[in-house]
Structure 1
Amino acid sequence: MVNTGPIAFYVPSLTVGGAERVTVSVANGLAKRGYEVDLVVSFNSGAFREEVAEEVTIVDLGTTKIPVLGIGASVPCLSRYLSARSPAILFSQMTYANDIYLVSQLVARSDTVSIGTIHNTLGMQEEPKEKFVQLLQRLLAGQADQFVAVSEGVAESVVEHVGIDREKVTVLHNPIPVRDVQQQARESVDHRWLDSPEHEVILGVGRLERAKNFSSFLRAFAQLHSNRPQTRAIVVGKGSKRSELEALAVELGIEDIVSFPGFVDNPYGYMGSASVLAMSSIHEGLPTVLIEALACGCQVVATDCPSGPAEILNNGEYGRLTPVGDDAALADAIEATLESPLSGERLIKRANDFAPDAVIDEYETFIHQYVKPATREPDETGAESPVAF
């Protein structure tokens, strides 16, 4: 075992989400390389619970669910964990979890190296609660030793909105399990259009929420379909905007050529068979859906939103970029991609830059900048019996 002392990650729960997936992947990767890893959760539930490696110790804070306070109720338990366990370094995940952790560290007077991880571009939030969380992050920023941003664009937003120097922000990309994605992409999925050689399927994948801007996707598809009647659209995902999007499809007269299958267990099967994946987002952090599509050899078109698409696609080298909200430009880019697709092998090669081994190498280098070898023997770990505080 690597004798650094405990490496900890704090995430509110293990429900399905991009940050949660990344956290589990990084924790598993470090544990498999011999590090002593704690995965600290406020609520020990969610689909990703089953994906945690047996080498990782799950620390269940057993937070009481209190209306309004939310994970703020975790502060006493998280403080006790810090005092009792004294992890060498802790990565908290997402802005609101960063705030809760930094408050807990103040209460515990812990000397754990504190790393706040930012997964989305700051400054794009509109809800009062989100703005308050971001303000609190700014007030607590001095308590953190370093921030990790998942892309260069996110790093720039952290500097601007948290008010810290660029030297205090490190970019560490999200690991994408490229081989697993490719394996699942080869599995068949039950959708009539994907099995039909006469159709060109334009795929959208993501939460059906405002930030993903699927209304622009539908308007762009309607324009595309007028030129290419063989096209069909599939929008995979669930969210509060579904009924609104279905109504828009009716308004555009495309309800019979657009499918909303909702959440699916294997979106990669869709990516492996689609002609183009189109991303219409207003803002992102590091949109893993683009990397996953590249891993499947699927052609990609994306809005040049903050942040991540231009970084992933290398300013258009691996997929066309369009202005946010420009439906006509998105339609034209999809059509141009259908006419002149890139080599699938080239897309897959790009996806490998984000494969787990490469990213875990970056995390190891980062950790070793802050953590000195522990003087005590590490405790035995294992996720079979979650630890409670």
Structure 2
Amino acid sequence: MPLLFCGGSEKQIRFLVDGLSKRGYPVSVYVESSVKELAKDEQDFVQTHSNVSFVFGNSSVAATKDKNLIVKYAAKITSLLKMMMLLRKEIKKNKVQQVMVTNLTGLMLLFFFKFYHCEVIYNERNPGDAVTSFMWRRFLLKRCNQLVCNSKAASQIMSQRLKRPVPVINNGVKLQDFSPCQQNEGPYQILVPARISKIKNQKVIIEAIAELKDEFNFQVIFAGTVEDNQYYEELLKRCDQLDIKKYVKFIGFTSNIKHYYLNSQLLILASYEEGTPNVLLESYMYGVPVLASNIPMNADCILRKDLLFSTDDSKELASKIKQSMKRSSEETLNILKENRDFVVNNYGEDRMVSDYVKILFN
């Protein structure tokens, strides 16, 4: 995995590592960043899971992001060779028999793993389109021992293109006490928990709230790592142009996202693309109403279709926000109860770990 803490995919892997560790299964985890770069949360996670074998690489590739092609590819090759050396040592030391990979880097090492007699499981954390769009990727995927994904949409795409069944293992969500959101004194708080990236489409939210700035007292919290600095600067500039800076707050990554869930009256997920929308499921647990972009992955998790909006239609989103703000307490509570039941029945964390145990340990 690239990092221990970054986005929804990393959180799911942490859930899995934690669950396997508690059940006493032997686990090795390769992390592409170096041990020197670990943040406090990452250090705590590693120390808490002392029975897990963590292997750390380096982030030299990330450091060459803005360099020329020769420098980039030299860094990638060097990093890949180092990764292979570390993985070879780990495989031999702990007699690894199965390897689960979640990205293209891991998929490219398919025959390396097979050389050391490891079964390879490819775990798709995205919609399944990009990874099956090229012949060489399909070639490698077909030669994996097992394939899994985390959404029905991804399963449909991959199964059709690869001509083999790709089962779904739903993401896991920590079960919480039911605590429906309450409108506190002060501004109506809207939470947008997603990394700052064009694919997460924060721009449409900024355009939508500009439509409402003269009608309501509200604050929008953008919580997520800045993945695309240029896009982040565009968002800040657009806030300035629309004169909404006082309504908007970018807080970056936070390990205390629970605080923001519990103090928000609405969550918005405007993505162009998702694997499984974890933040929707988490908001259901915390009792927060949601609005989401009308893409297949979100639609699978939204029980009431009037809570979906077109990805680039800021006026429609503004109208949906207004409807949510004016919805009665009784109707809101009914929606929240439906949402919670949906998560409890389909997305429990223990159920997810159990499903992976069946695959990994037969």
TM range (shorter): 0.7 to 0.9
The 2-side partners of 1:303 and 1:195 are apart by: 24
The structure whose residues are more often helix, as a share, is 2
Distance 1:42 1:107, change over 3 A: farther
In the alignment, which residue of structure 2 is the partner of 1:22? 12
Listed one character per residue, the Cα deviations across residues 301-360 of structure 1 (whole Å, up to 9, x for unaligned) are 000224x2112224x26x711122121222222222222253234333333332211212
Match of 1:256 among 230, 246, 252: 246
Matched residues, number:
333
In the alignment, which residue of structure 1 is the partner of 2:113? 105
Deviation at 1:90, TM superposition (A): 2.2
CA RMSD of aligned residues (A): 3.0
In the alignment, which residue of structure 1 is the partner of 2:341? 349
Q: What secondary structure, in the 3-state scheme, does the structure 1 residue paired with 2:129 have?
A: coil
Deviation at 1:154, TM superposition (A): 1.9
Partner AA of 1:312 in structure 2: C
Distance 1:263 1:13, change over 3 A: closer
The 2-side partners of 1:103 and 1:43 are apart by: 23
Q: What secondary structure, in the 3-state scheme, does the structure 2 residue paired with 1:256 have?
A: helix
Deviation at 1:281, TM superposition (A): 0.8
Deviation at 1:225, TM superposition (A): 3.4
In the alignment, which residue of structure 1 is the partner of 2:300? 311
Alignment of 1:1-389 (within 5 A): 11-43=1-33, 45=35, 46=38, 47-52=41-46, 53-54=48-49, 56-60=51-55, 62=57, 65=60, 67-69=75-77, 71-73=79-81, 74-83=83-92, 85-100=94-109, 102-108=110-116, 110=117, 112-123=118-129, 136-159=136-159, 163-167=161-165, 169-179=166-176, 197-226=185-214, 228-239=215-226, 240=229, 241-306=231-296, 308-314=297-303, 316=304, 320-340=307-327, 341-343=331-333, 344-352=336-344, 353-367=346-360, 371=362
Deviation at 1:79, TM superposition (A): 3.7
The 1-side partners of 2:56 and 2:264 are apart by: 42
Asked whether the 8 Å contact 1:61–1:78 carries over to 2, the reply is: no
Deviation at 1:63, TM superposition (A): 6.4
Q: What secondary structure, in the 3-state scheme, does the structure 1 residue paired with 2:126 have?
A: coil
The 2-side partners of 1:56 and 1:93 are apart by: 22
Asked whether the 8 Å contact 2:210–2:242 carries over to 1, the reply is: yes
Asked whether the 8 Å contact 2:190–2:264 carries over to 1, the reply is: yes
The 2-side partners of 1:170 and 1:78 are apart by: 27
The 2-side partners of 1:119 and 1:272 are apart by: 27
Query: Structure 1, unaligned stretches of length 5 or more?
Result: 1-10, 187-193, 372-389
Q: What secondary structure, in the 3-state scheme, does the structure 2 residue paired with 1:155 have?
A: helix
Distance 1:201 1:364, change over 3 A: same
Distance 1:261 1:246, change over 3 A: same
Deviation at 1:92, TM superposition (A): 1.3
Partner AA of 2:44 in structure 1: E
Deviation at 1:152, TM superposition (A): 1.0
Distance 1:55 1:354, change over 3 A: farther
Mean Cα displacement is larger for which, 73-82 or 254-263? 73-82
The 2-side partners of 1:81 and 1:94 are apart by: 19
The 2-side partners of 1:48 and 1:354 are apart by: 25
Query: Structure 2, unaligned stretches of length 5 or more?
Result: 61-73
Distance 1:268 1:15, change over 3 A: closer
